[in-house]
């Protein structure tokens, strides 16, 4: 079950990260959207994806 869930979780996480980066970059500066925001968004979604997979394992 966990193996099948890894791919959709990764795809949805990356779609959310890209969409959020585009929106933030549109309303702020390119430097912020592609710099610290992109880094923190990637880390946050990685943690969220990990927690989702950990929750599915139970």
Q: pTM for this structure?
A: 0.76
Domain region containing 11: 2-57
Report the greatest alpha carbon distance in the chain.
Answer: 42
In whole angstroms, what is the distance from residue 54 CA to residue 58 CA? 7
**Closest C-alpha to 40, from 21, 55, 15, 12:** 21
Q: What is the pLDDT of residue 58?
A: 72
Q: What is the pLDDT of residue 25?
A: 94
Number of domains in the chain: 1
Residue 57, both tokens: 């394992």
**Closest C-alpha to 12, from 49, 37, 43, 39:** 49
Residue 22, both tokens: 């585009």
CB count within 10 Å of CB 13 equals 19
What does each of the 58 residues of the chain score in pLDDT, given as a tens digit? 778 888 998 899 999 999 999 999 999 999 998 899 989 998 999 999 999 888 887 7
């Amino acid at each position: 079950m966990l193996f099948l869930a890894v791919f959709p979780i990764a795809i949805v996480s990356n779609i959310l990260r890209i969409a959020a980066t585009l929106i933030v970059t549109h309303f702020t500066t390119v430097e912020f959207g592609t710099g610290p925001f992109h880094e923190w968004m990637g880390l946050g979604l990685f943690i969220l994806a990990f927690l989702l997979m950990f929750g599915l394992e139970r």
